[in-house]
Amino acid sequence: MHRKHVVGLLTAIVVLLFMSFATHAAPIELRFLWWETPQRVESIQRLIDEYEKTHPNVKITLESIPWDEYWQKLPVMIAGGRAPDIMFMVSGNVQRYAEMNALLDLREPFVSQEVIDEMYPPHREMVTYEGKITAMPFTLTTVTPFYNKDHAAAAGIEPPTTPEEAWTWEEFKSAAAKMKQAAGTPYGVNLGTRDFWLLPYIYQNGGAVLNEDRTASAINSPEAEEALTFLQDLVVSGIAASPVDQTAGDLFTAGLLPMNIGGHWDMARFDTTITDFDYGVTFFPQRKEAGPGLGGDFIAVYSRTPYPAEAADFVVWLTSAEANAQYITENYYLSPRQGAKVAYASRQAEMDLAQKQAEMASVRLTVDRAIPAWDKFLQVMQSEFHMVMIGDKSAADGLKAIETAINKALQ
């Protein structure tokens, strides 16, 4: 062999070896920012480990931050040049971060149109910003009323098990009052604190927070006033816990509250905290229209990540039917894919009921809560709801104050 060829061959071998060594020595590192309980962190870490096995060139570091600090740290990290490559979002924040150009457009080549079509329509609308797909739905959530079976039996009440049997507002109030009396508990029900739990009463009564094109407030309406007056009546009469009583949810797990309107994901916590009684799940009380909205967790890629293809690939894998199902079943979430049949290890009947509840959800409430300006008036809206509910203010005055705050935020 010619000497020149030998030298060339050796050089090529050295370069290839070096490249191979370099690839092995320095896999791409992706930072994934997330909140959640230790159990859910374990679930997601298992999925990451699984992905890394088939993608040795990618190393994903999970950074878990408690929920309360997440929304402080994420924007500060982004502004400080330490943005994660992949991040968790909730329904209300996707559009807001998309508006601030912080989320990568995940349309083709990353996410196929087929996958986009599988999303629940309100979810699809939530992640679509100026035609771009800015996040991938990971879980679907809705409001779930829980009841203590012993308290219900003591009151001679059989909570509804089909949507057709769902309590009317009056029946719901009467059932809560009866259970309170029979169980000798301080309240009959905990209605919840935040907008996700309180707004359904307004929407199912024909009211709404925003007008049809979401450009101005529509909350100051007779329908909303009637709904808030109903909630006020429940709290002031002592049937429902005060919405500001932050210990009310714990009373249910302690067996000191007959009904708690929470979320199906609470069952992961109930599995370990409720040992003295059994609980059931029923439908949210009904009125004229669909009530609760949909929420959920979403996964997004930072728009200026140096590894958009790798980050998007992981997000697509994590939100694929197979990987997604593992997380959902372990943590009592609903599938964000239309028509998906999920087999839960336990509490299948309760999750089936929650699924039916989600299918009846208010699209308008779901999509209204996703507007970027929502958090700018959320504090005023919740505070006014609370003041009305504890009887410090009339529903009319509360709604007027909320209307002013919404219109200012939307200007």
Partner 1 sequence: MNKSAKSLSPIRGSSWLRNKQYTPIAFLAPTLVLLLTFAIIPMFWGLGLAFTEYPLLQPPRFIGLENFRRLMDDPVFWASLRNTCYYIIGTVPPRIILGFVVALLLNQAILGRNLLRAMFYFPVIAPLVSVSLLWQWMFNTHFGVINSLLRLIGLAPVPWLTSSKYALTAVMIMSVWKTIGWNMVVFLAGLQGISPSYYEAAQIDGANSWQCTRYITLPLLRPIVLLALVISTINSSKVFEQVYIMTGGGPGYSTMTLVQQVYHSAFQSYEMGYASAISLVLFAIVMVLSVIQFKYLGDRTDE
Map residue 213 onto helix, strand or coil: coil
x/- track of binding to partner 1 for residues 49-88 (CB under 8 A): ----------------------xx--xx-xx---------
Pick the stretch among 208-216, 242-250, 336-344, 358-366 that binds partner 1 (CB under 8 A).
242-250
Of 85 and 118, the one with the shorter C-beta distance to partner 1 is 85
DSSP 314-338: HHHHHTSHHHHHHHHHHHT-B-SBT
Of 233, 245, 330, 359, which one interacts with partner 1 (CB under 8 A)? 245
Least Å distance, CB 210 to partner 1, is 17
CA distances from 403 to 110, 211, 317, 379, 399 (A): 41, 11, 42, 13, 6
User: Which C-beta is closer to partner 1: that of 55 or that of 400?
Assistant: 400
Beta partners for residue 301, in sequence order: 86
Question: Is position 369 an interface residue for partner 1 (rule: CB under 8 A)?
Answer: no
Residues 143-202 that bind partner 1 (CB under 8 A): 186
Strand ranges of the sheet holding 297-301, from the earlier edge strand across to the other edge? 58-64, 28-34, 86-90, 297-301, 136-137
Give me the 83-122 binding string for partner 1, x by CB under 8 A, dash otherwise: -------------xx--xxx--------------------
Selection from 298, 335, 290 nearest residue 92 by Cα: 298
Candidate list 28, 41, 216, 244; residue touching partner 1; CB under 8 A: 244
> Is residue 271 within the footprint of partner 1 (CB under 8 A)?
no
Q: What share of the chain is helix, strand, coil (3-state, %, to 5)?
A: 50, 15, 35
Of 307, 298, 296, the C-alpha closest to 83 is 307
Of the candidates 101, 100, 99, 97, the one whose C-alpha atom is nearest the C-alpha of residue 88 is 97
Smaller CB separation from partner 1, 97 or 332: 97
Bridge partners of residue 148, in order along the sequence: 279
Q: Which of 144, 242, 253, 260 is the binder for partner 1 (CB under 8 A)? A: 242
**The token pair that represents 220 in the structure block:** 């100051």
Binding site for partner 1 (CB under 8 A): 71-72, 75-76, 78-79, 96-97, 100-102, 186, 242, 244-247, 256, 375-376, 378-380, 383-384, 386-387, 390, 392-393, 401
